[in-house]
Structure 1
Amino acid sequence: MLQRLAHVRNWIFDLDNTLYPASADLFRQVDAKMTAYIANRFAVDTAEAYRLQKSYFLGHGTTLAGLMTEQDVDPHEFLDFVHDVEMDVLEENAPLAAAIARLPGRKIVFTNGDGPYAGRVLERLGLSESFEAIHDIHAMDLIPKPQASAYAGLCAAFDLDPAQSLFADDMARNLAPAKAIGMTTVWVDNGSEQGHDADRAFIDYTTHDITHWLHDILEDQ
């Protein structure tokens, strides 16, 4: 393994658009469901619902966080609705499963989605046995990445030393709090929607494909 990654004992991965490519368009289904939820809940047209959705997303880290803060939306109702999507756009990724299996140490999924949805995604990708645990939005007490408490809660829940941990996410802004507490950061820059912050000083590595990146570092052993 790359010598500069020899310190990593905890491999932490975001789920959506990280463990599968954004081009799979699964999250587009979720995104459309969020717009539909807002349109139905507040009796607005699709354009206004989409505007509100993105305003909440950019202002609060996730659409759900904004809806909870500003509209007192029931998170369970929202998550059940938006995660009711078809998984047939995802394919089993045996090379990714093989690469994760070779990583030394612990492997954890850290997602702003919920556990049942994450489990369905992992099963479709052939990764159900690849991770020790899924740390989801409920484990974060519904306070999502990039809020600092989400990262502190993750480390406390699994007794992780941030200095021995690597975190990969497709949202660049979600990497800043990880870097702030000492984690090594990997940005999966595969076309996912980003926020307005152009600062990337907190990113240690950038890849367009997490499978290729993992195989690359493993081949350097």
Structure 2
Amino acid sequence: MSADLRHIDTWLFDLDNTLYPAESGFMAKMVVRMTDFVEKVTGLPRDEAFRLQKAYLAEHGLTLKGMMLNHGVDPAEFHAIFHDLSLEALAHEPQLLAALERLPGRRLIFTNADDVHAERVLERLGLSHLFDDVFHIGSANYEPKPSPEAFALMSAAHSINPAVTAFFEDAERNLAPAAELGMTTVLVGAHAAGSTAQFVHHRTETLAPFLAGAQIREAA
């Protein structure tokens, strides 16, 4: 059955591995560069640098946060490592564009990435014109999802009414605070079907078919 989203007028989307499939391998290339950076800053052997990177991700929701707190890393220096990353793995998806176009109300990006990365990816995907704004990690004072503070800052910046907001994410734990606020949550990705979390309201392997088939509010 199609999802009943007729009450939604604010559409909130994560960026990486949500607006494009994880299978593209693009995020994997980002992880390689993150490991390079952690290895360089800490002087650790690569395998230990990788473990530390993942430990910071698990603890703080973002590798950068751990690097800032424990190693005094400048976030601008960290984000710069992604700004020349090839976007070749990302492709236009006409079905996704059409599915997003039909959504009534506002469309927003809520990402732990920075503004430059978000702009590059959206432009490459051909989706920039469909979004009203990007709430990036700098907008959140480097407080990443799933921190309640990040959600509070984003909600205040865009006058979010959770009751009429749907949040789409590939990271299950990032949906928990959204559901607690009263948002409708949608887990995206090949792993979504296996989720049993009560705070996940809808699950889909890929975004476009889910949006295309959802029941939405008719235009006034």
Q: TM-score, length-normalised on structure 1?
A: 0.92
Residue among 193, 207, 212 paired with 2:209:
212
Q: 8 Å contact 1:94–1:126 — kept in the other structure? A: no
* 2:53 match: 53
Q: Structure 1: which amino acid aligns with 2:116? A: P
1:82 is displaced (CA, Å) by 3.6
CA deviations 1:60-108 (Å, max 9, x no partner) are 1110111112222111101111443110001111211111111011000
Query: What letter is aligned with 2:106?
Result: R
Query: Which residue identity does 1:100 align to in structure 2?
Result: L
- The residue type equivalent to 2:176 in the other structure is A
Q: TM-score, normalised by structure 2?
A: 0.93
Structure 2 residue 127 is matched with structure 1 residue 130: no
Post-superposition Cα deviations, 1:100-125, rounded to whole Å, max 9, x if no partner, equal 11101100010000111111111111
Q: Which stretches of structure 1, 4 residues or more, deviate above 3 A after TM superposition? A: 218-221
Secondary structure (helix, strand or coil) at the match of 1:129 reads helix
Work out which structure has the larger RCO, using CA pairs closer than 8 Å and 6 or more positions apart in sequence.
2
2:170 is matched with which residue?
170
The amino acid that maps onto 2:47 is A
Partner of 2:148: 148
Residues 22, 191 of structure 1: 8 Å contact kept: no
* Alignment partners' CA distance in 2, 1:218 and 1:183: 17
For 2:130 and 2:152, the matched residues in 1 are separated by 23
Unaligned 5+ runs, structure 2: none
How far did residue 3 of structure 1 move? 7.6
Is the 8 Å Cα contact of residues 61 and 144 (structure 1) preserved in structure 2?
A: yes
Per-residue CA deviations over 1:135-181 (Å, capped at 9, x if unaligned) read: 00000010000000111111111111011100000000000000010
Amino acid in the other structure paired with 2:181: I
Partner SS state of residue 112, structure 2: coil
- Separation in structure 2 between the aligned mates of residue 117 and residue 214 of structure 1, nearest angstrom: 24
Q: Partner amino acid for 1:164? A: V
> Is 1:62 the equivalent of 2:62?
yes
Q: How many angstroms does 1:216 deviate by?
A: 1.6
Aligned to 1:195: none
